[in-house]
Structure 1
Amino acid sequence: MQQHSETNGEGVTLSPPDLRRVTPLFSRQELHKADRQSLLSQFLQQIIALHNAAGAIYFGKQDTGLFTETTLLSRQMQASGQGLTDILLSCAENAIAQEHAGTTSLNDDNSLFSLNCPLPLDGGCLCVLLVTSPEALSSFLVMLQLSAALLDQYLHQQTGSAQTTADETLSIQFLPTLNTIFSLPPGKERLLQLNQSLKTFAGADLCALARGTNKKNIRIAAISDIASQNRQTDQLRLLQKGIDECVLRGKPLGWPKSTDPAIQHSLIAEEICHGFGGAQILLLPLAAGSETPRAVLVLLWKKFTDRDHIHKALDGFAPVLAGFMPCLDGSAGQGLLNKKTQQADSHWSLQHKVTAFVGTVLVLALFLPVPYRISADAIVRPGFTRFIVSRYDGLLKESKVRPGDRVNKGAILARLDERQTEVELASLQAERDKAKKKLDQETARGNTAAAQVARLDMRKIDQQLTRLQEQRRHLIITSPVTGMVLTGDLQRAEGSPVNRGQTLFEVAPLARMEVEVAIPEKNISQVPDDALVTVRFEAYQETSWKKHFERIEPRARIKDNKNVFIGILEFDNPLGLLHPGMRGTAKIHAGTRLLGWILFRKPWHTLLGLFDTLL
């Protein structure tokens, strides 16, 4: 990391902060036995030496607020005058109000920072001036929090308000271990390493750490030798019950009963001990002073040991553990603040206003009238269809069209075999010639009766000839209209018999088409009889057709297993774009409705149906 030198203005390289350096700095006996003013003065000297800082100020607490109790500044910082002290006082007050450590940038180029760490037991705040880059603040702030936790303990002990028999050097002895912990990535790994270190220190067979933001949600976070836990097991449920009782009492719990009156006997602790196969157990709440515990340490031994001595050692160290446990989740305990983040609380009110405004707008939008459209399936049908049938029995000789072919009026569609008809015509013609000859003979003889019979035979034969000639004309099957052949693929049936009245072809004109719109039964009450409809077909996605309903059939049909009403639209089709069978989607314009009605109508109807079922 780079820190600017005050002598020549050039950057020099500093090694990363080493937490092992804290041990010799804070283990001097005179630091522990000095009076308050000497303690603060010596402590600020050690802090400045540890951080290579430009100065430090401790703001003490009094009835009217904070005051400058001890100051140790470099000459360059002293040149800033009272204005710098006032700024640091404001930073200290902000840190105490927010109840966590943070940083503040003091110049425009983000090279001078104030690290502010409140002391919850003493009520004051420690401010350290540091010339460094923003990226290097994380390690410095963590070290400052640890140092401030020690200072808070020393000052609190000097007041005489807290009597403790704890081993005062435990905090110092344990600090080198923190160097290993904070060298790991933030999160679970740090927590597991801390838990394992506490287990080793206490000589326990099992160690567990539980933590949370308040006493209602303190949950097991780490168990020694177990990377992940199943909270549903009976053992962990029992352990969680013991942790909850420890938090509720706010006192250490243990089993078997201890000679130390500070450790309260607990039946749940006994159950936990038996459940894990242990001989002794200690549940220690971790809190700073009289605050509500934010964490619980559980130690279990399978053999009897000097549990009371371990409790005394850990009891004094508990506030320090409680103080830096939030740092395990992030590289600055999530307490790094610059000028922008320090103003976050003031932005919350603006965010709340914006949220309220947006919520109000959304609620009012529900009462806006908007166009209501009903979606329905649509299919193209011809306006009318001509069915072409065979007028006589015969054999299919030739088929000239297939479905999909476009034909003009009078176009030949197929031919029937004419050979049988020609034979019959020839036979009748011969009979007629014979009857004519006989008529002439009898007339010449003057035989009127015979001539009359011959004349009647000729008329009968003429009628038969007329019928056969008509039949011969209809052996050629033509289209009665201009349009498209819809059915009649007879090319593979050539030579097969055709019966009288049999439908051979279906031809539909394309000049005018109908579109059938399948209106769902649940929406029929909202559709006017002459509603405007916009139709888009799958074949022409970019083109829409608009028309009012010509009629809506009064009787419902079953279509795709749904009850629907058919609405009819008629479209002129001069270009032949619409073909029978085309499918699309119709949007029926059903007037306007409230936006809220459109959005919540279906859920409301579903809820009503559910109520009807239940009631």
Structure 2
Amino acid sequence: MTSAPPSPTHGRSVFPGSEFTTPDPWDALASAADGEQLCRAWLEVLATSLLQARAGIVLLAQDDGSFAPVAGVPATRDLSYLSEIATDALRTREGVVRHDELGHVRLAYPLQLQQVLAGVVVLDLGAAEPAALERALQLTHWGAGWLVDLLRQRGAAQASAGLRQGRFLLDTVLALQNERTEREGALALVNRLAREFGCRQVLLGVARRKTLRLVAVSGSAVFDHRAGAMHSALEAMHEAYDQRQRIDWPPPAEAPALRIHATHARYAAQQGVAALCSVPLVAAQRVLGVLMLERDHAFTPADREFVDTLALGVAPLLDLQHDAGLGAWHRAGRTARRWIGVATDSSHPALKLGAASLALVLLLLGTVPAPMRVPARAQVEGSMQRSAVVPFEGFLRAAPARAGDTVKAGQVLAVLEDKDLKLERVRWQSELEVAQRKELEAMAKGNRVDQRLAAAQANQARAQLDLVLGKLERVEVTAPFDATVVAGDLSQQLGSPLEQGKVLFELAPLDSWRVILKVDERDIGHVRTGATGELVLASLPGRSWPFTVRKLTPVSVAEEGHTYFRVEAELADKAPKLSPNMEGVGKIDAGRASLLWIWSRPLVDWARLAWWKLVP
């Protein structure tokens, strides 16, 4: 037989052995405003009034699937020691009872809502007797069911409130669509908002020429714009309009500290209003107006969120009503009158002076001729190039020259190994002396056959000796003229074998250059042989060199997504400071035309080509 739960005790309750006191938990349970307060009051009722527990905690499921504590008693005590038994109850979904080393009893009971684990309640009962433990299990079972039912009821109430808000938003949108004019829609909106939120007054200001104009006040079909209260209200609404964000007064704790609400504070003090909420109406990235709600009690977070949603829903409708009320002809006439007025009145003198100056500049650009030049990427090359090659097969002994060096005529570029050649020279000299001695001996003996044979051997040795001597004279590869080494670097190939005829260096003269211009295919039609121009190099931007076009190559080259034609030009003056492969920009003279035509020519040519493609 189970005992009935004890009746609630009124006044202040004290936890035995603990250091805290709380107000009457039954009153707190009756006046709980949200789920967290409800759980806290319920736990205090169960732990203090009914079971006299040492400690307790309630954990509820969060949106991310975890479980977090929402209530704990006593509030000043570390309750982490109850986490282990809470984890076991959540894992098994059954009640768990444990005794610690001191004999104290701990109880964990899961909270399930429609087969869904909603949380767990954990109690530290202290040194409880078996009868007290059984009673605690019964009370926890009854209380858990009651708490789950309360949470379900509150969830249903919140869902019902959301449906009611959605229905109100839909009704408001439909009501605005049925209104014929912008003013009628504004009046309908402010009156509906005043009734829904229990406001003393709701005002709507619309943006006109970067300022706000009051168009509707709830409960008033006619109002004076010049009244002091209306003027102060517009100033307060301008704070939300200028900052493009909602302004609340008094500001809630979670409001950003950077928001300015000084005018709201002054207006609330003047009118004796307890709470203000000004919401900008934004559509298409434009602030169309501001709604300001006044009432005698503070706005809740749910109220502020609902007001933001309403502003997003009604702003586009108000914008459409404003545009629809103007009419096409009215809009066109208004635009024409505005431009005519701006052009003829005395306002905006700086703007008009600027427009006149711009027109004069365009006229001059379109009529005054100027030199027309075709730009092109340019590269400097030598007028001719000569190769320094290997005179005979051998091995490389030294290579003092490198690409980029400036050399004089006769300067050594590379040296071949000559040890083998010197040995051959000695060999053939010896054979020549032997053959000559044999020839003299045969002549003394009068043996003409041996004499001729020795003479032939002497001639062969003499020819081989001349060949070796010629190679020894060409062991050093020298520069044929003053030049720049364009290509060739053999410093890493010393001792390597070389084949006869292999190119060692490319040489270009120092005082004879040509310019290779890469002219875009869209500009090649303006380039003629004999045309003059100027070259500016990237390494010498402060100086230019004149040139003359000598040859247009009729072969195009595709580079970097563009098609170029190769144009050869000759520098008019000698340029000793230049080096091969220097790059820059060349401009070729192509006659005279207006600057406006020169600047717009690429766009005009593109438009002509595109039009020709489109026209059948």
TM-score computed with the length of structure 2 as normaliser: 0.48
Greater relative CO (CA pairs within 8 A, separation 6+) = 1
TM-score computed with the length of structure 1 as normaliser: 0.48
